[in-house]
Amino acid sequence: MSTLTTPHIDVHRGGDRMKTRVSWLDSKHSFSFGEHYDPDNTHHGLLLVNNEDIVSPGQGFDTHPHRDMEIVTWVLGGSLVHQDSLGHSGVIYPGLAQRMSAGTGILHSEKNDSWRLDGHLAEHEDPVHFVQMWVVPDEPGLTPGYEQLEIDDELAGGGLVTVASGLPRYRDRTAIAINSSHSALHVARMASAEPGAEQVVDLPDAPYLHLFVARGEVDMEGVGPLYEGDAVRLTRSGGQRVVARQPSEILVWEMHARLGAQ
pLDDT tens by residue, 156-214: 999 999 999 999 999 888 999 999 999 999 999 997 657 778 999 999 999 999 999 99
- 197 vs 220: CA distance, rounded Å: 16
Average of per-residue pLDDT across 75-90: 90
Residue 120 is predicted with a pLDDT of 46
Q: Which residues contact 214 (CB under 8 A, 6 or more apart)?
A: 52, 74, 76, 131, 228, 249, 250, 251
Residue 108 is predicted with a pLDDT of 86
- 166 vs 254: CA distance, rounded Å: 11
What is the β-pairing status of strands 176-177 and 161-165? parallel
C-alpha 224 chain-centroid distance: 22
> What is the length of the chain?
262
Residue 117 is predicted with a pLDDT of 44
* Chain segment 208-236, per-residue pLDDT in tens: 999 999 999 999 999 999 999 999 999 99
Q: Are 25 and 51 in contact (CB under 8 A)?
A: no
What is the β-pairing status of strands 217-220 and 120-122? unpaired
- Give the phi and the psi of residue 154 in degrees, each rounded to 5: -65, -35
SS3 label, residue 66:
strand
* CA distances for 171 relative to 163, 167, 181, 261, angstroms: 11, 7, 10, 23
SS3 label, residue 39:
coil
* Order of strands, sheet of 106-112, starting from the edge strand that comes earlier in the sequence: 60-66, 106-112, 80-84, 89-92
Nearest to 213 by CA among 193, 227, 234, 200: 227
* Chain segment 33-60, per-residue pLDDT in tens: 999 999 999 999 999 999 999 999 888 8
Nearest to 255 by CA among 182, 169, 168, 176: 182
Q: Which residues contact 76 (CB under 8 A, 6 or more apart)?
A: 94, 129, 130, 131, 214, 215, 249
Q: pTM of the predicted model, to two decimals?
A: 0.92
Q: Are 94 and 77 in contact (CB under 8 A)?
A: yes
